[in-house]
Structure formats: C-alpha cells, structure tokens
Amino acid sequence: ICTGDRVDLGGGAAFEVLAPSASLVQQGSVKGYKHDPNNESVVGRLVFGDFSMMFTGDAEKKEEQDILAGAQGAVQSTVLKAGHHGSKTSSSADFLRAVHPAAALISCGVNNDYGHPHKETMKKYHAMNLDIYVTAENGTITLTSDGKDYHITPERGEKQ
C-alpha cells in the first residue's frame, strides 16, 4: 500500500493513502537501507460523504512535508488523529494549516515516559481552537459519523 492507493471500505467510505510513497516502499527492500519507522508510517484520509479524518500513524514533520509536497491539496480533514502520539516531532504548522481540522484525537498512555502529548503540540492545537481529546485523560474515544455530521464521545471527561 502506498501513496495514491484508494481502499473502498463499502457504504460510501474510502481510505485514501497519502504515504508512504512508492519509491520509499521500493527503497525499503534494498539491502542496507536504513529504515526510519516513524517516517515510513502509513498515512491516509478516511473519506465518508462530507466527513473526513486524517490518520497519521507515527509520522513526523519530515513525512508531513513529503505528504504536503505530493498531496496536491487533498489533505483537508474534519478530524486529525495526531501524529506520533502528540509528540513535538509531529504536527508542523504547515501540516496543521493544510489539514485544518476541527478536532484532534491523541492516542497516548497515562504518565508515559515520553511526555506525550508534548506541551508545544497542545499549544498549537489550542491556538487553532480545536476540540482536543487525549486517551490518557479521556480513555476510549469513540467517533461516529453519518457522512455529514460527526460526534466524538470520550469514555470519561471532556474535550481538552
């Protein structure tokens, strides 16, 4: 699976793959290639009617830049699943401007050793006035959509 692939999920929903590029996938099979797992994450958009959600895996700023360079503007998404657990190595200003989400979901453990989500990333999200949900605080986060509207329900607590 690589950039440009589109997976039909049925019911009018599809997953559009934005990364990794085909050339990166091919490089990965070359003996001696030094892998960069975070920046080789599968990144894509779930598109369902008027609703879309960006899934970023562990993508960092380098992969975000590659996506913006090759995406031809098709990155705007209603909801962003934050890259790399809300780390400061992801969610570049350019990427956030292009995606322009209304909400961000951050998956990270309680009291994790990495300090995720990073305060710089949270500051960026707050500056954009996003609805922010963090699994460490909110537990399981459920998102439902009918293709027009969407609803986010945390297991506990409120948006950040």
pLDDT tens for 102-126 read 999 998 878 777 767 979 999 999 9
Least confidently predicted of 21-30, 82-91, 106-115, 148-157: 21-30
Task: Indicate the residue type of 84.
Answer: H
Model confidence, pTM? 0.88
In tens, the pLDDT along 25-70 reads 566 554 555 666 676 778 899 999 999 999 998 888 888 888 898 8
Q: Is residue 160 part of a domain?
A: no
Q: Does residue 33 belong to any structural domain of this protein?
A: no
In Å, what is the CA distance from 123 to each residue of 79, 92, 93, 158?
A: 17, 12, 11, 18
1 in any annotated domain: no
Residue 32 covered by a domain: no
CATH code of the domain in which 48 resides: 3.60.15.10
Q: Using alpha carbons, select from 67, 57, 129 the residue that is nearest to residue 87.
A: 57
Number of domains the chain contains: 1
The SS3 call for residue 6 is strand
Is residue 13 included in any domain, yes or no?
A: yes
**Structural domain containing residue 19:** 6-26+39-154
Q: 120 in a domain, yes or no? A: yes
